[in-house]
Structure 1
Amino acid sequence: MYLKRIEIQGFKSFANKIVFDFHNGITGIVGPNGSGKSNVSDAVRWVLGEQSAKQLRGGNMQDVIFAGTELRKPLGFAYVAITLDNSDHKLDIDFEEVTVSRRLFRSGESEYMINGSACRLKDISELFFDTGIGKDGYSIIGQGQVDKILNGKPEERRELFDEAAGITKFKRRKGLALKKLESERESLVRVNDILTELEKQVGPLERQAKVAKEFLALREELKTFDVNSYIMEYDSITQNLNEYKKREKLLSDDLNDAKASLERSKQDYENITADLKKIDEELDELRNTRSATSITLQEITSHIEILKEQINSENRNNENLASRGENIDSDIEKKQKELDKLEEEKNSLQRLLNEAHEKENSVFEELENIDKNINELTKRLEDLKNASEEFNSKNADLRAKKERYKGILEQVRLRKSQMTQRLLESKTGQNTLEIKIEEEDKNLSEINASIDTVNAAKKELENKNEAIHTEITRFAKVASDLQIKYQRESARLTSMKNIAERYEGYGNSIKKIMETRDRIGGIHGVVADIIKASQKYEIAIETALGGRIQNIVTDSENTAKILIDYIKKNKYGRATFLPLSSVRNSTFSNKEFLKEKGVIGIASELVEFDSAYVNLVGSLLGKIVVIDNIDNAIAFEKKFRYEYRVVTLDGESLSPGGSISGGAFKGAGNLLGRKREIDELEAEITELLKNYTEANDKVEALKAERNSINAKLEENRVQNQELIIEKNNIAHRRNSLIEKLDELKASSISVQTDFENIDNELTEIENETKRLDNTLLNVGEDFGKVGKDIESIEKEIQSHRSKRETVVERLNSSKLEYANISQRLEFSDENVNRTKADMDALIAEKSGLKGKAEDIIRNITEKNQRIEEEQRAREELAQKIEELKKKEEELSEIKETKNKSQNKIFENRDIYSDRVSLLDRDIYRLRGQIEKSEERISERTNYMWNEYELTYNSSLELKTDTGMSLNDIRAKIQELRSKIKALGNVNVNAISDYNEVSGRYELMKKQHSDILEAEETLIKIIEELDIAMKKQFAEKFEEIAKEFDEVFKELFGGGSGKLVLEEQDDMLEAGIAIISQPPGKKLQNMMQLSGGEKALTAIALLFAIQNLKPSPFALLDEIEAALDDSNVDRFAKYLHKLTDHTQFIVITHRRGTMVSSDRLYGITMQEKGVSTLVSVNLIENELDN
């Protein structure tokens, strides 16, 4: 079997799907730091079931999903699959090739698969048991696993050795067996509790069942007499009822006739009322019409007057229009004269504007000639200035060059001075270094002495730590025993509470009612919940209560009625209720009997209860005497002629009349004792928890002390390490000082040579400076000549500019004059236009006056015509008003006649109404008698149905001929009810409850035996597993230790490596120490080795395990990182040796390992945050070259 393929997509930095194909031999995975190559190791660990995000270098499991980059969005899932060749069927699965995959979605959903079929993580773990493959096996080894081997505690290395020894599967089986054993023991506690409770219930239920049977026999006899009584009474009442109904029929007929006459009179009355209403409506309509016509007449008269006034107004407007026409003609004449004057002024301004324009053009031409001369002179000036700047630049360059040479000269002189100083300092430094070397030699001696002191302190701390470890083990065992007992008692308490909450031992109806307690208010609980007795009086009080202990206490009779309907509707059985609103306290008036021998007290005074239940407890226990034993009880009853009901502490009961009940029954405490037992258990559990906490605190205190010592040991280790580091630092500083001294001596010789060359360099620089001074003198003469030419041209330009300013002033004056005349002309033009517009408006107004005059004449004519039309309408309305008055008088006469008829009908209606009332009263009285008879029948019928679920017809079938009168039957019924009442509260469900409980008791006894048998079997299995594991581990550990020593010698080139099993009672829990002795060194533990030695020791152990129990493949993640090059070569060489039986995938950055690989995969991060894959096949002859 070997690993064929790894597929990764969306896991950490592998955004795209990548596939690794593997073959036998060594495959290397390489890449720069941060490229994601270690994510391959994490991916394999993850697909094999790793559940710790921390082990995968993340904060939570969603961190393994590709989180996105600046260029890529986050992915929604991570997927990894590994495929193994199973052609040799080492895996217990019927496939030649096995693919295990895991997928995680960002929502948190996860799935595992084997060959595409969904499975559990457990299935994957069991598939790879004892193969070395797994998240905790030795097939995947990274820096974390190496550190765990190197720096972990001895007991933390167990997992690796258990896997190598092949006992992991056994340990898992043992763990499962221990869990099952614990479960069986918890079940045993629960079954014991249930058996105890059932034993308490069997006896009382048997007694209650006997009473219930007697009750059912009496009740059946009562039913027979109830049926006969019901039939006889029903027949008698029915006969009377028929007579009542016949009489009711006759009276009802008379009533109907009277009501019909009443209705006819009412109808006549309503008809006349309707006619009167119609007449009133017509009168109202006539009056409204006449009123509206009068108003209209007034409006027409008013409108005629308004029209006449409007005609007068129109005549006045016409006169005003004629006057306005004359004024408009005068205004037009004035405007024409004003327009002529404005036209003449406009023409004069136009001539002045033309003259100003010609003057402006002449001055502008003169200005252009001056500007042309200035431009020509300016161009010549710029050319001369450019030449001047060139001379100036050349001069500046020469001066700058001179300054550079001057600076170089200063630098050379400074270097000469510095070299002189360096020669002096070098001599001084050599002397100082020699003194420091002597001081470091002294420090080296002191640090060696300090290291010896620290090692002595370490030995003392280790001895103290061992003593504390012994104490921790002792107190931990005490805490463990207390914890086991606490868990056992807690389970028992939970069981008892469950029994109490489920009301085990109560009738079915009681259980069903208590389930509704939260839905139906007013339920206080059963009697057993309300009364509390000390253990001494429990049996006596429960005997005194008898079946009443299961009675349900309610706040009122109404609540009891609701609950009875509820159990009756659902057919849950029967129950007895004690409403607090109706129960009455009962007690002895004379208590002299309390002084009698053996009398303990009255039962109601020997129990505890809430003050709200005083009447209830008094009614139940107020007249029951408690006496210590049966002998004293019998003597007491004889003395008082069996007047009292007595109970004894052992549960005997003596009733008035002389009957005695008693005998042996198990668990007499029964229902009443449950609360006490629960309280006692809670107190015991509290004490256990307190003792456990104290023991645990002691363990924690010892652990804290051990941690303190470990911290001191760590401080000691750090101090020792710091001293060693300081020692190395001192040696390093000493060597560094020696190297510096040698460097100073060599430097002095070099400085002396440079000093001799500086003088020649100084002479050359001074000669070059003199040549630069001559060149500067010649350039200065040329620069002076150009300057004079520039000065002459600038004066000529200034003269032209003065002349230009004078011309510009003249030009501005001309422009100002032109603008002024132009503005006046524009204003004159506006005046001409405005005057023309005014004339046009006057002419238009004159034309409009004519049209308005014509409109006024037309309006006057129309209004005169409307006045004539409205005068005719006014005459017609006056005539209509007279007609309406006449019709109104006719209707008033008809209304008077109708009113008289209505009064006559009203008198007849009162007579009929009195007759109806009289008949209604007689019928009401008769119906009352009918209703009472029907209620009595209904009451008796309901009683028969509620009590026996019988109707009249079904009762007829059960009727018997008793030969007794109805009164005799009633007397017999009363006698039977008295006998039933004498039985007290009866639990009719006791018969079925007794059968159920006794059957369940037998079932629990069988289950108890089965659990004990299963417990014994499991203990035997665990013992056999321990023996097998110890034997196999001992054999394999010895082989691993021997192989480790051989591999150690081969990798180190000598020395020895040992594995030591720590002393402990249980070999399977003992820690494993690794002792290493590299060649030429003393035997020492792992912490005293160098980093490379530690890593090589761990690798030797892993290779030893691979030799003895090779895993099909091994993935090594940079485990050789701490090795030097020579040890890397040894590592690679041995790795090749192991490839005969194991396939290796090595994540590395060491060249020696890469060269030894048969094939390389390169991991790169060409895109930031995204890992990609590169594959290279290595050919052996290429490696040789």
Structure 2
Amino acid sequence: MFLKHVELFGFKSFADRTKIDFADGISALLGPNGCGKSNVVDSIKWVLGEQSYKTLRASKMEDVIFNGTQDRKALNIAEVTLTISNDEGILDLDMPEVAIKRRLYRSGESEYFINNTPVKLKELRELFFDTGVGKSAYSIMEQGKIDQILSNKPEERRYIFEEAAGITKYKIKGSEAERKLQRTNDNIKQVESIISEVKRSHDNLKIQSDKTIEYRKAKDNIFYLELDIQLLRLQKFLEEKNSKELQLEKISKLRTDLKDKIMKLSENLQSNQGLVSKLENDLIQSQKELYGIDLEKNNIEAQKKYLQEEQTDLLRRLRQQDLKIQEYNDKYLEINNEITAKNEQEKSYKARIDEIQKNILSYQESINQSLQSIELNKNKINDGEKSIVKFEDDLVENENRLRTITDNIVAKLEDELNQSGYTRDLKQNKQEDVIKSIQSLRLKLKSSIEKFWDQVRFNNISNQNVEEFVGTLREQINLFDQIYDSFNAYIAIEPSLIDDFLSPESIFHRKKDLDNLIFQIKDTINQLRTNNKSLAEQNVILSERILKNRSTLEELKVNQAKIITQSNSLKEIRVNLERDSEETLEALNESKKIKGTEQTKYESINNKIEELNKKQQKAYEDEKKLKDLLLTLEKKISQQNSELEGREKELNDCNIELAKNQSKYDQISMSLTQNATEIRNLNDNFRERYSRDLDDFTSRLINEIKDMPNQLKERLANEKNHLKSLGQVNLMAPEEFIEVKERYDFLNSQINDLINAQEDLKRITSEIHKESTQMFLRTYKEIKKNFHHMFRQLFGGGRGELKLTDEDNPLESGIEMYCQPPGKKLESIDLLSGGERSLTAVGLLFATYLVKPSPFCILDEIDAALDESNVGRFVNMLMEFGQTSQFIVITHNKKTVAGAKTLLGVTMEESGVSKTIAIRIEGAEVS
């Protein structure tokens, strides 16, 4: 991953669309003051999400838009696109190249894009979490950032360590988890508030339900007491009926006896009184019939009156039933229309609840799988940590052995050198003697050979010449012997300890073997730590996924609870409507039934009245005929009586007695008719009041009625007083209580789920805190060790230390820096000079890079306060790190420029408008 190019349009002084390509390694951004170099850095910070206009050196955010010059108009938009190579997949996007774009309008509207896809600022920031890249990460180092690193506030330094440790996003996720935990607490309070309201309804309906049950029991008691009283009345009427029927039977027998007696008297007088007897018989029969007709007339009149009264009452009740039927019918239609609407709405709620339930099961399954993966990774991490501890123990042991061997090598080397008398000056002198002798010998040999060769070539050779040449050679051989002696003396001063050190059994080879073994152990430890770190990161990702899924699950459950509550409320309304519909339909059918019954009664009474009218008319006609007949018979009898007065006296007495008996018979008959009417009225009244037949309960007379009527009436009065004392009663309270109880129990189960989710959030937050602490401490220790080495390398010695201000709470602790440049005491960072402070900040930056390098880094004139020697160390280290990371350096220092592979120039050919040029330097070296 590295920065490929940045494209600016309308940002500050870059009025024209400008594309700046960056190469790998070190690129130097050059230009005079005020040309817009720092605007390039500002643009990169801005596109990475910087929201502080002061950090961008502006008075308001709209100031980053090109404001125009004397020759150019102002623009209404600023746009910066940052293109990053993502071949290694460091960014969590499956794309080889990622383009980040930010656009700002003068209206204040701001837009963010990733590969031309609109995104939120949060998504853009999350993309760079824990990569070292960001508006406030250590990928951008400038003078202000150095001041922040070296600030007197240790808390302001820790962001570098957090970014290197890779816990920035986990801290944010932890904060988000805490916010979700707070929302869960709020939801619990909300549900508790609902439960409190439902509980009040629950408790109130419980009281009402108990009261209604007591009311219903009292009503039942009243019904059975009144039933028993009516049954006793019925029993009394039936007993009276039986008694009168017995009397009627007795009188009927007596009357029959009298008739027989009269018949006998008539037979005795038949011979003498045939005609009188016949007339008397006719008279008696006519009187009887007349009396019967009179009784029948009275009875018919009484029946007509009773039937007419009942008919009037039926007409009134029929009109009332017609009104009720119309009212119930309208109400029934209205309720059914409303029920249909509620059913459709309830189906919609049910579909939504089923869909949410499926999602809940899916998320729950995902959470369970993630928890299993986390547990498996933890076991692997524990195994890895145990292995690391073992290897670290081996490492310490071997490093101790290495230090012992190294000390032995140094001691032996010093001892050998002291024994050999070897010095550097002696070796130098001997070496110079050998070189001078060899050069002198070479020149003399060359001169003698050339002189002899010339003589041979020109045939000017003689014995003397040969002897001279041979003599010269002998002298030079003697000189060669001297050179040989000098060389042996040179060789002799070299100590033999090198051969001893290089032998296979030497201490040097043992040191080399230990070095290889220590390297292998360190490599194994690093691999184990890398693996553990990867597993820990997987666990954090899984925990984050669990947290996100639990949050979604919680929201789904809350939504489900809300919809279920709404559905239950709707169901409650629908059930009430259905109950009202059933009650209305039942009342409608009952009214129709009552109307039908009343109509039948009315028609029956009408028919009875018509029959009674006919009977009454016939009775009047029969009465007139009998009266006429009686007058005729009385006249005839009167004529005959004068002759038969004596005998007829007895017969007359019998007739008088018969008439008395007949009168009693008729009275008892009328009483029986009245008794039957009473029984019928009693049954009708009971049926009308309770819609049940009294005859259905006659078995209670034998088995269940133990009390006397007065006792029953007293108990009835007590029950009615008890019923009255109950006051107003909600007759539907028991049914409503059952529904509210179901809702109350459901809400209690929901709050239990929320409490479980709360505990899970607390556990996950604790795990994130624990993992973040471990990652932070591990990174802090590595940076601390690296900082000490970097400090010594940059300062040529000395000591640099880091210390947590609160070791018990590392995630909130500040980080103190203590520095001891060579020749000084260990002191706080704020006592250093400007150059020392800058060099210390550079040391901390590179110490961080050793732990987690940023893919690219922008350095804005951080070498400004360094002297020549420190700049040299800085550049050498920069070139070393430039092999693995990309550096873009804004500088005015020649040595820093000399270390760059690419030069990027920023200039202002047109006043107020920046433009760029680029030069690539191949094979550049920095001395």
Alignment TM class, shorter chain as reference: 0.3 to 0.5
What TM-score comes out, normalization by structure 2 length? 0.47
What TM-score comes out, normalization by structure 1 length? 0.37
